[in-house]
Amino acid sequence: QKEVEQDPGPLSVPEGAIVSLNCTYSNSAFQYFMWYRQYSRKGPELLMYTYSSGNKEDGRFTAQVDKSSKYISLFIRDSQPSDSATYLCAMSEVHAGKSTFGDGTTLTVKP
Amino acid sequence: KAGVTQTPRYLIKTRGQQVTLSCSPISGHRSVSWYQQTPGQGLQFLFEYFSETQRNKGNFPGRFSGRQFSNSRSEMNVSTLELGDSALYLCASSIVDEQFFGPGTRLTVL
């Protein structure tokens, strides 16, 4: 069983919708939680990171971590066609340099 | 501030050959990590270097190796290439809790 499981998708939503992307994990030693966005044929781009339970907001993006349930989420408000990409969750124990990734969820936002 | 750069961007090799990929981290970043990304296995950790020392290693065979230089630049080498080594190889530099990726090197093994 994988250490990090991500909702597989694909996900297709209309422009302006709220998107919820989710991952669960089994390794209780994970301390850092990250979300990346990856466009086709590009490297992953760091969207948000956090290391505590609770919510962290950055513009239209909110990262949520629940360590007791080993569950993390990324919410995207007012989704835009430019948000269409693959979203990857990632986690690490001590520092970000050794991260374990989910398989990614491909999101399409339709105009 | 310049991002992570990787060279070459594309590479075609044949089975049995070896290949060396290069990565220049963001200025000031001392940690460089390498990942392999394939459609079937996703993004998998290869190894991480910090201050010229391998700090962590993933579950890949010994054909995969790397090194880091005093200026933090890193190289990754794959010997005796196999068809299954075809992938996007990503380099990332990090400071504690933030990791930034380069555009990757797409390796095709024929």
CB of B43 within 8 Å of any CB in chain A? yes
DSSP code at position A14: E
CB of A7 within 8 Å of any CB in chain B? no
For testing the chain A interface, which of B4, B5, B32, B43 should be mutated: the one with the most A CBs within 10 Å?
Answer: B43
Compute the nearest-CA separation of A47 from chain B (Å).
10
pLDDT confidence tier of residue B86, bands split at 50, 70 and 90: very high
CB of B105 within 8 Å of any CB in chain A? no
pLDDT of residue B1: 65
pLDDT of residue B95: 82
Q: Are A77 and B18 in contact (CB under 8 A)?
A: no
Mean pLDDT computed over B82-102 = 93
pLDDT confidence tier of residue B21, bands split at 50, 70 and 90: very high
Which residue, among B64, B59, B57, B52, has the nearest Cα to B89 in the 3D structure? B64
Rank A7-11, A95-99, B1-5 by mean pLDDT and report only the highest. Answer: A7-11
Interchain pair A97, B50: CB under 8 A:
yes
Compute the nearest-CA separation of A29 from chain B (Å).
15
pLDDT confidence tier of residue B33, bands split at 50, 70 and 90: very high
Q: Is the pLDDT of residue A95 over 80?
A: no
Mean pLDDT of chain A: 94
Mean pLDDT computed over B28-48 = 94
Interchain pair A46, B42: CB under 8 A:
no
Q: Which of A32, A43, A95 sits opposite B101 (nearest CB)?
A: A43
Mean pLDDT computed over B36-61 = 94
Strand arrangement, sheet containing B19-24: B5-7, B19-24, B74-78, B64-68
Q: Is the pLDDT of residue A13 over 80?
A: yes
Distance CA A77, CA A61 (A): 7
Q: With residue A8 as reference, give the H or E element that holds it.
A: none
Name the percent of chain A lying above pLDDT 90: 84
CB of B101 within 8 Å of any CB in chain A? yes
